[in-house]
Structure 1
Amino acid sequence: MNPNTLTEQLSLFLDVLETGSFSAAARRHPLTPSAVARRIDSLESSVGSRLFQRSTH
């Protein structure tokens, strides 16, 4: 994995933790919420575990 990609994914991960949502984290970056979700999915694949419990509300 590209170190820059990992750095971006970890930054997004921390922003999702801090803000509590993919949408709020996306507003901190030039990304859409779905782009944040894809990057978090990729990070989860890399570590082999789910990092967030998703809900739809």
Structure 2
Amino acid sequence: MTARNNGAGGSWQFLVPGMEEFNDDFGIIPRERPSIDRLIKEQSCCLMALRLGREEIC
């Protein structure tokens, strides 16, 4: 399945500074990893564009 066929999904576990004790190794603090922060924003925009039928954006 692909996102183009409405078969993909994604989720991220965002934490804020001070919540490190709740991290299960799948959470991130976006400000601490700017490259990951950018990637998540880009991928989120692409998933939304696909959802709205605007594939040419990605």
Q: Which has the higher strand share?
A: 2
TM-score bracket for the superposition, by shorter chain length: 0.3 to 0.5
**What TM-score do you get using the length of structure 1 for normalisation?**
0.37
**What TM-score do you get using the length of structure 2 for normalisation?**
0.37
